């Protein structure tokens, strides 16, 4: 089911929580709404579910305008952060509930509940009550309950936030598998960038009720539209610069660290103030001569899979670098030349202020 949002606006009292949100979510897509707490993700999900009415704009499922369609006529399934299972009912009864409301005949009900429980791999738990299940198992049941009605649209509101890291990773894989099998158009709300990068077909990054960028995970991560998106979706080191010249294949940027070359024509005239950004994992801890700069190691943070280095450039700017499985841990105070490939440099017009590292 294709979902179209056209200039959707939502206000609570005098506060505008969503402002002219326009999105096209394709049929069968696993689409993420990502953003910090309070940016309006849940409100947007609730507008799609029909729990809220928009104050402006239009919502369509396929060609059908949904603005005034009540929630129970939208055929959406919803899963919440808190599993919201009925404690006095068995797993089977919890999953069957939506079919009872729809007056589905008993034999079909049995078949569909079993099918939904099989999909989430919980068929062996049908007679248990929710309090005899782990958090991960309860969330599987909540998923089965949403799937059993064969929804046109599945809405997931931070479904993994209550789970510990291991279960979260396990259920992430399950959600990917279930979406692959069912191909139900799914809108998934989270503030966890890893979750969205690893699962999404496409994602929208929201800030203060406004969509900042829409794209597939790789392009949003590698080519963020602005500083907010770059910082929200991963760590970024920033230094000030200005465009040294307008060229075709490269853009030279004058910075306190010397001239840095970025890939391609930035489209910006010589003298334009810019931020130059690069991810910690893009820093090469050896001098590859291009885009190289002196630095001194200030701090080492051991993070298991990676070693995180905090380095100081000669102008005093601190930046981070990641080393994966380093052969030897470098001592603090160590001088080293680092480099960043030109394709890993991000150049954005300098219109916003720079937070500290």
Cross-strand bridge partners of residue 288:
none
Q: How far is the CB of 208 from ligand ATP (least distance, A)?
A: 9
Q: How far is the CB of 304 from ligand ATP (least distance, A)?
A: 27
Q: Which one of 34-42, 122-130, 170-178, 214-222 is the stretch in contact with ligand ATP (CB under 6 A)? A: 34-42
Residues 217-256 that bind ligand ATP (CB under 6 A): none
Number of residues that bind ligand ATP (CB under 6 A): 11
Q: Which is nearer to ligand ATP, 81 or 262 (CB)?
A: 81
Pick one of 17, 116, 149, 276: the residue that binds ligand ATP (CB under 6 A): 17
Interface segment toward ligand ATP; rule CB under 6 A; list 35-43, 90-98, 279-287, 337-345: 35-43
Choose which of 1, 31, 35, 291 interacts with ligand ATP (CB under 6 A): 35
- Give 231 or 308: the residue with its C-beta nearer to ligand ATP: 231
Q: Which residues on neighbouring strands pair with residue 252, listed in sequence order?
A: 261
**Contact set for ligand ATP, span 38-97 (CB under 6 A):** 38-43
Q: Sort strands 318-324 and 335-340 into parallel, antiparallel or unpaired.
A: unpaired
User: 11-41 burial string, b = 16+ CB within 10 Å, else e?
Assistant: eeeeebbbbebebebeeebbbbbbbeeebbb
Nearest to 255 by CA among 268, 244, 265: 244
**Of 5, 1, 10, whose CA–CA distance to 60 is shortest?**
5
Which residue in the block uniquely carries the two structure tokens 């905090």? 310
Beta bridge partners of 58: 6
Q: Does 199 bind ligand ATP (CB under 6 A)?
A: no
Binding letters toward ligand ATP, positions 150-189, x by CB under 6 A: ----------------------------------------
d(CA 279, CA 344): 8
- Comparing CA positions, the residue from 279, 287, 282, 295 lying closest to residue 341 is 282
Question: Which residue lies nearer to ligand ATP by CB, 233 or 313?
Answer: 233
Listed ranges 30-38, 216-224, 248-256, 280-288: which one lies at the site for ligand ATP (CB under 6 A): 30-38
User: Rounded CA gap, 191 and 186, in Å?
Assistant: 16
35 or 136: CB nearest ligand ATP = 35
Q: 5 with 57: CB under 8 angstroms? A: yes
Nearer to ligand ATP, 206 or 311 (CB): 206
Of residues 35 and 215, the one with the C-beta less far from ligand ATP = 35
* 230-263 per-residue burial string, b: 16 or more CB within 10 A, e: under 16: bebbbebbbbbbebbeeeeeebbbbbebeebbbe
Residues near ligand ATP, by CB under 6 A: 12, 17, 35, 37-43, 191
């Amino acid at each position: 089911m294709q979902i179209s949002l056209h200039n959707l606006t939502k206000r609570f009292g005098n506060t505008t929580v969503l402002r002219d949100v326009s999105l096209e979510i394709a049929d069968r897509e696993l689409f993420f709404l990502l953003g910090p707490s309070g940016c309006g993700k849940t409100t947007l999900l609730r507008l799609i579910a029909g729990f809220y009415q928009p104050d402006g704009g239009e919502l369509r499922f396929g060609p059908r305008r949904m603005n005034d369609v009540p929630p129970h006529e939208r055929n959406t399934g919803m899963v919440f952060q808190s599993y919201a299972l009925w404690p006095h009912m068995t797993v089977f009864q919890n999953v069957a509930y939506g079919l009872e409301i729809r007056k589905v005949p008993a034999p079909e009900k049995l078949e569909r509940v079993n099918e939904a429980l099989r999909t989430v791999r919980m068929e062996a738990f049908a007679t248990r009550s929710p309090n005899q299940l782990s958090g991960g198992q309860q969330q599987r049941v909540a998923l089965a309950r949403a799937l059993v009605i064969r929804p046109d649209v599945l809405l997931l509101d931070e479904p993994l936030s209550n789970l510990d890291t291991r279960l979260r990773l396990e259920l992430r894989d399950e959600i990917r598998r279930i979406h692959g099998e069912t191909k139900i158009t799914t809108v998934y709300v989270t503030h966890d960038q890893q979750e969205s990068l690893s699962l999404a077909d496409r994602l929208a990054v929201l800030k203060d009720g406004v969509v900042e960028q829409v794209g597939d995970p790789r392009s949003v991560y590698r080519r963020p539209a602005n500083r907010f998106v770059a910082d929200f979706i991963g760590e970024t080191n920033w230094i000030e610069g200005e465009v040294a010249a307008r060229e075709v294949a490269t853009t030279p940027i004058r910075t306190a660290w010397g001239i840095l070359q970025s890939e391609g024509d930035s489209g910006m005239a010589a003298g334009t103030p810019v931020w130059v950004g690069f991810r910690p994992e893009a820093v090469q801890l050896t001098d590859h001569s291009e885009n190289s700069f002196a630095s001194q190691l200030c701090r080492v943070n051991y993070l298991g899979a990676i070693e995180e280095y905090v380095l100081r450039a000669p102008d005093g700017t601190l930046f981070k670098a990641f080393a994966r499985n380093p052969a030897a841990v470098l001592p603090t105070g160590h001088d080293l030349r680092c480099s960043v490939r030109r394709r890993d440099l991000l150049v954005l017009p300098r219109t916003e202020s720079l937070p500290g590292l």
